[in-house]
Amino acid sequence: MLKHLSRIVSAVLLAGAVSVVPAMAADLQQIIASGKIRIGVPVDVAPFGSMDASNQPVGLDVDMANAIAKALGVTAELTPITGANRIPYLMTDKLDIVIAAMGATPQRALQIDFTSPYAALSEGVFGPDNINVSSADQLGDYTIALTKGTTQDLLLTALAPNAKIQRYDDDASSAAAFLSGQAQLLATADIVAQDIMSKNKGAVLHPKFIMSESPCYIGLPQGEPELLHWLNTYVHLGWHDGSLSALSQKWLGTNITSLPPI
Amino acid sequence: MSYNFRFSALLPYTDEIVRGVVLTLQLSVITMSIGLVIGLFVALARTGSIPVLRGAATTYVEAIRNTPLLVQLLIVFFGLPHLGIRFDANTAAVVALSINLGAYCGEILRAGLQSIRTSQVEAGRSLGLTAGQTFRHVVLFQAVKAVYPALTSQFVLLLLATSVVSAIGATELFSEASFIDSRTYRSFETYSLITAAYLVLTLTFRALFAVVWQLVFVRRSRSR
């Protein structure tokens, strides 16, 4: 009798286990079972994602996508997406995740889920290595070019009201002021600094200090808790082992060591 | 349609506006002086008999008068540093504006010089004036008098043209206005205010030029 009962109980439990476990982990299990993960990456937001000479997507987000696929033991199926269609792609199940320098907002979070941030766009003061400045109060007599009315202008004016700030009408003029030596430092976004360096051999725009960070998050459809949790674990470990800061260093030139998790 | 003017939003920026007006005045006066001197030499070179100087002056005048001021300005400020010639923004503004004004003044003064007949020079010399005296008192005086209205118009145009030097970050009136605009977002008020400021500046200059005309040309002519 007791033996009978325990068999029934274990059968019920087993049935429950069989039927419940796959249902809960369908998202993650499906990806692993299919052997591929569909990831949307940008191709128009260098250095996060752009097309290289052989028409292959490259960039921070592309590296991140490939690393995630490798960690899952599946192949990455990369789809180029734009800022406008990245959320619709997720909501219509055309993609499993989107890694596209995406910022989170409460409105977006009503439609899709966000992981903890894996990188950040930063705005700061950039310049060559021989200028020894690491905070706004060390600017002294150095001249800083920036674009009038931008967040960099507002932030730096607030941080260093007495600094020698040269204000230009657009980013191209600010860059020209730095490149022609009219200003010794440039206040801008890290991706602009990278872009200027990549197009001007000899120009050195390394971060002196960062004034603000806009974190980037991986997006995925709602209702996939296993995948979300796995991605958050992956991001968490990435900050721990330094691979995410190495990625930022490689593509953005900025050394972010961690960002507050979601 | 209605717009709520709030000029009080500009009050905290009085210092900037005053600084801008002062710098615009300085830029204008310095540039007018240098431009006039350049123009005189250019006019002399173009009406003179030395082919090299005439060629150089013609090239200069044509190159400057047929290219935009903004481009000249950007070349002086962003281009020349690559050749090792570096000016700060305000100096670069004076340099570019003077080079520009010099070409226009040169053409205006050339017209003036050419309007003086050779017989006038001959008359001066035969009355015992030296070549220098003849040039100063007979040729130049009458030449400037003939083109004075055109010259002063060019000076007023220059004063207005100083507004483009904000492109290289010179902190004159227009640059200060766009700075204030970027902080207050009160574009209409800001630009209305500096429109009035420019108007006062140009009218003041026109009045000054009229006084100079009376003192130098009308009274001196009458006393002769």
> What domains can you pick out in chain A, each with its CATH number?
29-120+214-252 (3.40.190.10), 122-213 (3.40.190.10)
pLDDT tens for chain B, 224 residues: list them.
688 888 999 999 999 999 999 999 999 999 999 999 999 999 999 999 999 999 999 999 999 999 999 999 999 999 999 999 999 999 999 999 999 999 999 999 999 999 999 999 999 999 999 999 999 999 999 999 999 999 999 999 999 999 999 999 999 999 999 999 988 889 999 999 999 999 999 999 999 999 999 999 987 666 55
Q: Which fold has domain B13-223?
A: MetI-like fold (1.10.3720)
The answer to whether the Cβ–Cβ distance between B78 and A177 falls below 8 Å is yes
| pLDDT given for residue A25 in this prediction | 43
**Would you state the torsion angle of the CA atoms of residues B21, B22, B24, B28, taken in this order, to the nearest 10 degrees?**
140
Q: Of A118, A104, A101, A94, which Cα lies nearest the Cα of A221?
A: A94
| pLDDT given for residue B1 in this prediction | 66
Average pLDDT, chain B: 94
| pLDDT given for residue A12 in this prediction | 57
| pLDDT given for residue B2 in this prediction | 80
B175-209 residue pLDDT tens: 999 999 988 889 999 999 999 999 999 999 999 99
The nearest CA of chain A is from the CA of B13 a distance in Å of 14
The answer to whether the Cβ–Cβ distance between B86 and A181 falls below 8 Å is yes
In this prediction the ipTM stands at 0.80
| pLDDT given for residue B222 in this prediction | 63
A120-174 residue pLDDT tens: 989 999 999 999 999 999 999 999 999 998 889 999 999 999 999 999 988 889 9
Collapsed DSSP state (helix, strand, coil) of residue A142: coil
The nearest CA of chain A is from the CA of B183 a distance in Å of 7
Average pLDDT, chain A: 89
The answer to whether the Cβ–Cβ distance between A145 and B169 falls below 8 Å is yes
Collapsed DSSP state (helix, strand, coil) of residue B157: helix
A207-217 residue pLDDT tens: 999 999 889 99
A70-112 residue pLDDT tens: 999 999 999 999 888 889 999 998 999 999 999 999 999 999 9
> What's the first-to-final CA gap in chain A, in angstroms?
52
Give the burial class of A79: count Cβ atoms within 10 A of its Cβ; 0-12 exposed, 13-18 middle, 19 or more buried. middle
Helix axis angle for B173-184 and B187-212, nearest 10°, is 160
Mean pLDDT for the stretch of residues A31-50: 91
Q: Of B186, B188, B202, B179, which Cα lies nearest the Cα of B15?
A: B179
pLDDT confidence tier of residue A46, bands split at 50, 70 and 90: confident
Residue from A182, A185, A186 to probe the interface with B (highest B Cβ count within 10 Å): A182
The answer to whether the Cβ–Cβ distance between A182 and B166 falls below 8 Å is no
Give the chain A residue nearest B89 (alpha carbons): A182
